Structure 1
Amino acid sequence: MELSIVIPVFNEEGNVEELAQEVDWALEGSRLTWECLWVDDGSTDGTADKLYIIAARDPKGRHRFLRFERNAGQSAALWAGFRHARGALIATLDGDGQNDPADLPRLVDMLRREGYDMVNGYRAKRRDSLVRKISSRIANGFRNWVTGKTVRDVGCSTRVFRRECVEHLPPFKGLHRFLPTLTVLYGYRIAETQVGHRPRRKGVTKYGIHNRLWVGLLDSFGVWWLRRRAFRYRIVQTFPEEGCS
């Protein structure tokens, strides 16, 4: 398996079927072996039923889903998705349909061709409300100021990375806001590229100033502490060589 696409969803029954079709169209001509792993974060609408239909009618078995007993948050959904993904590369998308799956083959090609460990998208033309744009800009600026600048749009979910980038990340609420920051912290190479962004077609956003901006600002201090206290090392020799008797 070359690529696993992890998509966390919460009460997105109006978006998942169209998004699944777009994933099929985007990856069909890419020659990649892939899967799409949906993580239902305890939805209370018909999302789980829709995901069952998507997975059941896929003759190649490329669509799979996990379902949480109750809502645990986007970070938990991504964490579970990463651990159940089977691909050497992992991509992420939001489940609201605002990210364009058509960008993914280009990001995969960029990562492979130029030898990066993560390629993170940035939304040059955001299709969000003014409140969301302002809160995101404040959060991005503050996050980069506290934790060190890594990418211009930390909140963009369109990204592709090697699975080793997330194998040893610490699990915590808010993890999804710091994936690029933590990837750089652990010594991986990261690049950026412009990606598409679309208006939400159906449903309502689950995030606002109270559950996105202020929590994200507080989390930044935790990542700042981790960054200041982190260490890295590289072993150049062992004697006797491990595995030799």
Structure 2
Amino acid sequence: MEQTYDTRDDMKQTSNTRGDMELTSDSGDDMEQTSDTGEDIEQSSDTGENIEKTSDTEVKPNKCGVCGDGGIFNMINCRGIFNMINCRGIFNMVNCRGIFNMINCRGIFNMVNCRGIFNMIKCRGIFNMENCRGIFNMINCRGIFNMVNCRGIFNMINCRGIFNMVNCRGIFNMIKCRGIFNMVNCRGIFNMINCRGIFNMVNCRGIFNMIKCRGIFNMVNCRGIFNMINCRGIFNMINCEGIFNMSKL
């Protein structure tokens, strides 16, 4: 049967020799309906109901991943596996691709223009991982403005803080750390392992810096190897460079 509808949204039916029906709208779009199974057709002329139309301006949800707890504009232009499981937030994962991103997370503007594997597992925060790429970033972390314009491997594991790792790149940075403004404009390997402090490693580069350390304003504008191992202090190593500095002080 071929169905066309007039200006009153009523239906006119014309039969043919085939068993299935083709519904044609004024816009020329075809809708397939099958009458072979004997099921009731939703749009019937007997009841006089109008045909339900879909507006062109209707906002459709983004369905490029899994999200267990809603949100606004989640996963825009994203591709990945198991993204945003049991998460809630606003503008999460914009223009992102990855595997197992944002598991059990909540936050605002998380992972904007990011790509990675296992990013932000059990995390909560605001503006986390903007323009970032990496592997196992921010595992069991909470904070504000963490990892802005960063790239690395195993960054910020079991960490909490504010403005951590801004414009940073490295491997195993900030493991079991808490602090404020840690690693700003830094690059290195194994930086700040099991550390806590304020303004640590500002504009720094090095290898194995600040292992098991706590302090204030440590390593400002510094570069070195194995600096501040098992150390605690205030205003340590400002504008410094060296090898094996401040071991077991």
- TM (norm. structure 1) is 0.23
* Structure number with higher strand proportion: 2
Highest relative contact order (Cα 8 Å, sep 6+), 1 or 2?
1
* Structure number with higher helix proportion: 1
Larger Rg: 2
